Each structure stands twice: as structure tokens, then as C-alpha cells.
Structure 1
Amino acid sequence: MEETVKKLYITGYQSYELGIFNEKDPKLQVIKKVLKNEIKNYVENGLEWVMVAGGLGIELWAGEVVAELKPTYPELKLALILPFADYGNQWNEKNQLLLTEVKTQADFCDSVSHEPYKNPGQFKNLTTFLLAHTDGALIVYDEEFPGKPKYFLSAARKVQETKPYSIQSITMDDLENAIFDDSV
């Protein structure tokens, strides 16, 4: 981390892309452990805000991890920035409950579009907003295993061409290594 990242967007795979369908999945425990360690490192280097966009998977899990870290790091704030007003309404009850839990833990919650879902452009607007309001991104993504995060990563790399923007990736190898690393 060259520059101090004060506002960090955390994103990555959706839960289905990782084959994780319940909270007891051992893969989820490893992901949360790695996220917790990385967020702590950022906080100790000046991080003030974590932003997530409410995606089922890495984003909501990161929101849960931030909530767990808040008692130890009271300066850490969580922002939940949704793409549109009725985001998550079509999810099953269990997933809606998870989104609601993260909303209640967030220090700030709003949507980029205050309209209900209309078109995919609302997701593009979300990406534009997040890139304009963060200093960097922590992304659980491995280019050897393509998935939805590739769209954000591509946009973030374009931003890097015109201004400093930190991008840190957590790859599948990083997650696999964390299984055997007791210090993480």
C-alpha cells in the first residue's frame, strides 16, 4: 500500500460463483479470516471507511467482518451503497435477512439510484460512483477464474490511468494458503 487508503471498496465473487450456499461452509470461514486480516492492515494504515454495494457473497461478508471489527477499531466506518432503491427485494428470505443485518450495522446506507431496478446501466452508475468516492479496492478475484468482479476490475484499471487508485487482489492461491497459515 503506497498511498494511504482512507475509503476502501471491497468486492469480489458472488456466493454462487464460489459454491458457498450457507454460513457453515468452511470456505466462508477462510474468506472471512482473510478479509478480517486485510481490513485490519488497512485500518492500521489509516483506513476510515469500508464501502460495499450489498452483493451476495464477498460484499455482504465483508460488511459482517467490518461489524465484527468495530468494537476493536471504533474509528472504522461501514457504508452500504446499493445500486437502486429496491435492491435485494427479489432475494429469498435468508438472503434478505443478511442484507438487512448489514444495513443495520452500516454507518451510512443509501442507493445511487432512488428508483427501482430499470436497467443494467444502474450497475454501471454504481461502479462509477464507487470509483469516484474511494481511494482503492480490495477485490477477491482471480483472473484464472473469471466472474462478475472482472467488470469492476476493468473499470478500476481505467481509473488508474488518470489518477492514483489502489487495487489489491486476493486470489484463489491466497485463500488456499490462508487455510494452512495460522498467523492469518
Structure 2
Amino acid sequence: MTNLYISGYRTYELGVFTGKDPKINVIKKTLKNEISQFIESGVDWILTSGQLGVEQWAVEVVDELKKDYPEVKQAIVFPFLEFGSNWKEESKTKLMELQQMADYTESTSHQPYKDPSQLKNHQQFMLDHTDAALLVYDPEHEGKTSFVYQAIQKKQEKTPYECRLIDFDQLQNTIEFGME
């Protein structure tokens, strides 16, 4: 295994409306533990799409993990050109900071958003170019990540593809047993 795709809930799906929300630390700690295991199992590249929420927190976690694992690289692959251009100024600034942490940035579509096919093509690109996925997602609490999860399940019918879920029970365990 060499490439890992990370995705999950968006900020608003988790009720996170400020960068100081304690939920972020719980998610980041859990991500750090899981990502470390993947790196120790041979992951070289970690890919996200740069979405608000889990994907952006994962970029920060990987940047932090590079201190212990300098060989790991990360890519932000946007679904389309000018991704995030309609976001609030604070979110745009954050996205630019995250791009500085990435070893590689690109977009699967070299056009600004025009229709949902770009999102579907992007999702397929991410699955075609990774060997496993780590999702902060609980199937009992659907969100936008359900589209990725369903695509992964379809892929798994045809080919081996690991998908590890961080669900709400695991996040609760981090709160109860794993907070430093």
C-alpha cells in the first residue's frame, strides 16, 4: 500500500462553527493515531480534496506527523479549478495555508465548477489513485461522505481496497480513554 485517501464529515455536519471547537482536537487525535498506523504500514502519500472539516484537519495532522515521518508526502487534489473561491475570506485564507503544507496540489478538472459530473469524476480519480481510504464517517449518521463510502463499497466488490472508518463510537473512546 502506498497511497491513502482521507475524507469525512464537513464542519457544518459536525456542528463545528469555530476553529476552537473541542471536537476538532478529538478528531485530530484520532486521525493522528490512524494515520500513523497507515504510515507505519507503508503509506507514502496521503491525499485529500481540501474540503472544510475532516479533510483540512487531516492536512494539519499529516503536517505535524512529518516531524516523525519525514518521508511521507501529502497531496491536495481539488475537484475543480478555483475550488473554495466562493468561501468566506477566513476559509479561503485557511485553504491557502493548507496548500503551503502540501507537497503537491492539483485539481482533477481544470475548469471552474460547472456541474456534478466534476465531483463524480474527482471521486473516481481519488479512488483510482489510492490503495485505501480512511473516513471519519458513521454509516448511521449520513452526510456528504456517504457518496464516497458508497463508491468505495462498489469498488470493493471488484478489487481489494481497504476502507477504515472512524465512527462516533471511536471518537467517544478517544474522549474517554485517549485524551492527553
TM-score by length of 1: 0.95
Equivalent pairs counted in the alignment come to 180
Partner of 1:134: 130
Output one character per residue of 1:82-110: Cα deviation in whole Å (capped at 9) or x when no partner.
00001000001111111111111111100
Matched, 1:100 2:92: no
Partner of 1:87: 83
Distance 1:31 1:45 in 2: 21
User: Which runs of structure 2 are paired with 1:118-129 in the superposition (5 Å)?
Assistant: 118-129=114-125
Partner of 1:172: 168
Matched, 1:60 2:56: yes
Q: What's the RMSD between the two structures over aligned residues?
A: 1.1
What is the deviation of 1:72? Answer: 1.3
Give 5+ residue unaligned stretches, structure 1. Answer: none
The verdict on how the C-alpha distance between 1:50 and 1:144 changes in structure 2, with shifts beyond 3 A counting, is: same
Tell me if structure 1 keeps the 8 A contact 2:26–2:179. Answer: no
Matched, 1:147 2:169: no
Amino acid at match of 2:57: W
Give 5+ residue unaligned stretches, structure 2. Answer: none
Tell me if structure 1 keeps the 8 A contact 2:3–2:132. Answer: yes
What is the deviation of 1:23? Answer: 1.6
TM-score by length of 2: 0.97
Structure 1 runs (4+) deviating above 4 angstroms are none
What is the deviation of 1:183? Answer: 7.2
Distance 1:10 1:98 in 2: 18
